[in-house]
Chains A and B, each alone.
Chain A
């Protein structure tokens, strides 16, 4: 790092110092100036074709495409000079002459760069008086729909499929103003990561069939989160409307997923909205589960646990905080804990180092291991007769009542009541799912990353750390765990892997656990 040559230049009157070889566009970002652009994307090779990012460089004969022009010592760059503005206004006018201007019915409206820059720098009125080009809408396969008329041919999608996905199925076909994005004969956008072309598309040309016509961009509330659908831990944004998750989108993180997210993760969100949630604590009375106050349910759970060993069957999708407290409960009662992980097909994204849809389809496998839980395909094998079985948000697929018969009692701490638990549970404590609470996951490389609450939990359901903290208090471990942050601080104090971490230091990008570095480099 030390021998990287730094170059000093002035952009819009602001001095900035950047490493040699940086583009003017990236340097401008550092100077706090956004140069409008379409074809440029930091995660893709430079194409330099949209000509939107033209800027004026003093002493240069022509305007420079800032995405494809490297900085030079002492350069003076004007982004908003009359000459540069006039050139970009010309580009915008040309981009719009064949554009249908159908923003009112376009899904991209509100988050469309063509719309934004036209409002920002474009002409108030177009001068084009001739017929527009027309091409029909095409189904590209996978989750992708192509609206050719809105396409500005920035080729981000082509470059993503060629250079990042290594599955070259897209190309620019035809020439001149007849050109459009085409799919090779017999090919479809079925690559496991193909959905990223929807996010990469700066306009409404590539749309998600899944979220088509479902919500306007400006109606959505957004929260930073981490994808819970595999152990990779891609950073994502949860977009909700009226307390319903509408869409998941990738959130850039150079250390994990760059700018991308796989289709499995992106489209696997309906469970976050499921309507069959447990929304109130319950206690079994006279053979039936009856609704109860939290205090009543916690007292009942404490009574069941009194002097018994707790055996925790945990979900590897619980947060580090919840798993930490469950671990304390196990330790307190001299019990044991286990978890199992759903498996799926691994699907790498070849263009990005160490990024894949992982076979382990759970977010916090590493976190569960660090919390002292045993990974096992026969998770109840460690349970002893008379143990109190605590089912912590486990789906119980393939675990039936007879397997649990050795348990003295069953406490469910979960979002739903799966399978036989409806008949077998003695106490039910409802908790929030991972988009309804704050917390952290540890990904397969040992990176600890925060997720934030995106929607409200149903009914009386409480955040997992809060419910388990209360349960822990009811068996005599009285330390108060009132917030997720406080719980994490306790975790960081108790576990050396997490030493020195806090919600503030993790912030939005996360940090690796101690000892994680060697694993990542392995």
Chain B
């Protein structure tokens, strides 16, 4: 059963199979659906075997960067005598993304199981799940699931009777976008201000509390039990035949001006055109898609043509001028003022900048001021050049990519939809001048 819509026949339900089933939330219901079989199996395997299976499956990070998960896990050197940590990134703060929320709301035990397997695979005895402050329901469900798992002996110092130690702790964030950046998240977990750290050192060398740490997204970890149960080859059957680099299924959160918004799970490589028009029901009556942001607000904006040509995987989106990102699909139709939408995105980044790096602290705010001025009818043609130059200064020069993320919709917006900007500038507001008083 899908949620809230009835799943389309072309969806590939793996993670979202039990969305909407009340019974699946609890431990008993989850066990009936095959829960914790993979963990039991995993705890009796060598950690290196698990890492190898995940490597073979081709699973890549579902948080946005798409880094191969098995490779990331293999950076954690077993037997180095240090405490290892797994941190599950459930901050899901990327605007337009709400897939992890559904995983935690409906299948919290899937994440607990994924965390436990992941922790065991990287030699960690502790996994933290960092949930954004606004996700109160997900928080409750995760806390309840952990409690059940501890009570049932699934977690703890004798996990599933194997004598292995696996702890999963849930940590509540305070709702800062930047705390979804992995190093900022570690600072936040440690009780510090959520500022990103300079890399190197990378988390696998010195992460949480200065110890080797792996950070994985909720969706990534939730997929791991399925891979262990069904094998790497099964997972690889999801995907385009001509692109072995993107395998498995992916949840896409669809929002904006579209007939049927919601979460959809499809195999990677699914044609984006079919996805938009068949699965999601196409544009609202009498409208046309104008711009599509397929991976959360941080990725470049696509034109309709680019979107319709894209296969929905990491490489397919890159070939069509954007990125897969977090899979938060934002649809903007022809009834919208696109510049206003971009200005609103920039305002978000200006609000959320942690204020460490100069270009981000000042650049995001400056970009916002100029865009809002253009929207208000006070823009000039020079403003567009200035925006592009500011964006250039904000790209690739800071500690984390928040600054780049703010520049991305601006640059892609001006490059692909320049007439929209120019129309606003040409329609320049005429300031009323009071008549001369004699």
CB pair A51 B398 closer than 8 Å: yes
Q: How far is the CA of A54 from the CA of B397 in the complex (A)?
A: 8
CB pair B358 A52 closer than 8 Å: yes
Complex interface: chain A residues within 8 A of B354 (CB) = 175
Residue in B351, B364, B366, B399 whose beta carbon sits within 8 Å of that of A49 in the complex: B399
CB pair A51 B359 closer than 8 Å: yes
- Encoded as 1 (CB less than 8 Å from any A CB) or 0, chain B from 193 to 207 comes to 100001000000000
Q: Scan residues 323-378 of chain A and give those whose CB is less than 8 A from a CB of chain B.
A: none
Check: B309 CB closer than 8 A to any chain A CB.
Answer: no
CB pair A87 B393 closer than 8 Å: yes
Which of A92-100, A399-407, A415-423, A482-490 lies at the binding interface?
A: A92-100
Complex interface: chain A residues within 8 A of B364 (CB) = 176-177
Check: B107 CB closer than 8 A to any chain A CB.
Answer: no
Q: How far is the CA of A49 from the CA of B362 in the complex (A)?
A: 13
Distance in angstroms from A96 CB to nearest chain B CB is 9
Check: B326 CB closer than 8 A to any chain A CB.
Answer: no
Q: Name the residue in B198, B358, B363, B366 with the highest tally of chain A Cβ atoms < 10 Å from its Cβ.
A: B358
Known: A46-B198, A51-B358, A127-B386. A177 touches B365 (CB 8 A): yes
Residue in B355, B365, B392 whose beta carbon sits within 8 Å of that of A153 in the complex: B355
Check: A169 CB closer than 8 A to any chain B CB.
Answer: no
Check: B415 CB closer than 8 A to any chain A CB.
Answer: no
CB pair B198 A90 closer than 8 Å: no
> How many of chain A's residues touch chain B, expressed as a range?
20 to 34
Across the interface, name the chain B residue whose C-beta is closest to A92.
B358
- Encoded as 1 (CB less than 8 Å from any B CB) or 0, chain A from 164 to 187 comes to 000000011011111100000000
CB pair B362 A95 closer than 8 Å: yes
Residue in A54, A130, A177 whose beta carbon sits within 8 Å of that of B361 in the complex: A177
Check: A35 CB closer than 8 A to any chain B CB.
Answer: no
CB pair B397 A179 closer than 8 Å: no
Check: B356 CB closer than 8 A to any chain A CB.
Answer: yes
Check: A62 CB closer than 8 A to any chain B CB.
Answer: yes
Q: How far is the CA of A149 from the CA of B393 in the complex (A)?
A: 23
Complex interface: chain A residues within 8 A of B170 (CB) = none
Q: How far is the CA of A4 from the CA of B276 in the complex (A)?
A: 61
- Encoded as 1 (CB less than 8 Å from any A CB) or 0, chain B from 59 to 100 comes to 000000000000000000000000000000000000000000
Q: Name the residue in A46, A152, A176 with the highest tally of chain B Cβ atoms < 10 Å from its Cβ.
A: A176
Q: How far is the CA of A97 from the CA of B367 in the complex (A)?
A: 12
Q: How far is the CA of A128 from the CA of B366 in the complex (A)?
A: 8
Check: A516 CB closer than 8 A to any chain B CB.
Answer: no
CB pair B397 A87 closer than 8 Å: yes
Check: B141 CB closer than 8 A to any chain A CB.
Answer: no
Complex interface: chain B residues within 8 A of A46 (CB) = 198
CB pair B353 A176 closer than 8 Å: yes
User: For the complex, would chain B's binding face be called helix, strand, loop or mixed by DSSP majority?
Assistant: helix
Q: Scan residues 171-229 of chain A and give those whose CB is less than 8 A from a CB of chain B.
A: 171-172, 174-179
Check: A63 CB closer than 8 A to any chain B CB.
Answer: yes
Distance in angstroms from B352 CB to nearest chain A CB is 7
Known: A90-B359, A94-B362. A130 touches B369 (CB 8 A): yes
Complex interface: chain A residues within 8 A of B392 (CB) = 90
CB pair A176 B351 closer than 8 Å: yes
CB pair B198 A94 closer than 8 Å: no
- Encoded as 1 (CB less than 8 Å from any A CB) or 0, chain B from 373 to 405 comes to 100000000100010011011001111000000
Q: Scan residues 293-325 of chain B and give those whose CB is less than 8 A from a CB of chain A.
A: none
Check: B115 CB closer than 8 A to any chain A CB.
Answer: no
Q: Scan residues 21-53 of chain A and give those whose CB is less than 8 A from a CB of chain B.
A: 46-52
Complex interface: chain B residues within 8 A of A49 (CB) = 356-358, 399
Check: A460 CB closer than 8 A to any chain B CB.
Answer: no
Number of interface residues of B (CB under 8 A): 32
- Encoded as 1 (CB less than 8 Å from any A CB) or 0, chain B from 327 to 369 comes to 0000000000000000000000011111111110111111001
CB pair A176 B365 closer than 8 Å: yes
CB pair B393 A63 closer than 8 Å: no
Check: B38 CB closer than 8 A to any chain A CB.
Answer: no
Complex interface: chain B residues within 8 A of A106 (CB) = none
Across the interface, name the chain A residue whose C-beta is closest to B398.
A51
Q: How far is the CA of A65 from the CA of B356 in the complex (A)?
A: 14
Across the interface, name the chain B residue whose C-beta is closest to A95.
B358
Q: How far is the CA of A51 from the CA of B392 in the complex (A)?
A: 14
Distance in angstroms from B383 CB to nearest chain A CB is 9
Check: B370 CB closer than 8 A to any chain A CB.
Answer: yes
Complex interface: chain B residues within 8 A of A172 (CB) = 193, 355
Complex interface: chain B residues within 8 A of A87 (CB) = 393, 397
Check: A91 CB closer than 8 A to any chain B CB.
Answer: yes
- Encoded as 1 (CB less than 8 Å from any A CB) or 0, chain B from 166 to 188 comes to 00000000001000000000000
CB pair A175 B355 closer than 8 Å: yes
Complex interface: chain B residues within 8 A of A63 (CB) = 396-397
Across the interface, name the chain B residue whose C-beta is closest to A93.
B393
CB pair A174 B355 closer than 8 Å: yes
Known: A62-B396, A62-B397, A127-B386. A51 touches B357 (CB 8 A): yes
CB pair B351 A175 closer than 8 Å: yes
CB pair B397 A130 closer than 8 Å: no
Q: How far is the CA of A177 from the CA of B364 in the complex (A)?
A: 8
CB pair A91 B361 closer than 8 Å: no
Complex interface: chain A residues within 8 A of B366 (CB) = 94, 97, 128, 130, 177
- Encoded as 1 (CB less than 8 Å from any A CB) or 0, chain B from 389 to 429 comes to 11011001111000000000000000000000000000000
Complex interface: chain A residues within 8 A of B390 (CB) = 90
Q: How far is the CA of A127 from the CA of B369 in the complex (A)?
A: 13
Residues of B in contact with A (beta carbons under 8 Å apart): 176, 193, 198, 350-359, 361-366, 369-370, 373, 382, 386, 389-390, 392-393, 396-399
Given A91-B393, A95-B362: 18 more A-B contacts, CB < 8 Å = A46-B198, A47-B356, A48-B198, A48-B399, A51-B357, A54-B397, A87-B397, A90-B390, A91-B358, A93-B393, A127-B386, A130-B369, A171-B193, A172-B193, A175-B351, A176-B351, A176-B352, A179-B355
Can you give 23 A-B contacts (C-beta < 8 A)?
A: A48-B198, A49-B356, A50-B357, A63-B397, A65-B198, A90-B389, A90-B390, A91-B358, A94-B359, A94-B366, A95-B362, A127-B382, A130-B369, A152-B358, A153-B358, A172-B193, A172-B355, A175-B353, A175-B355, A176-B351, A176-B355, A176-B364, A177-B350
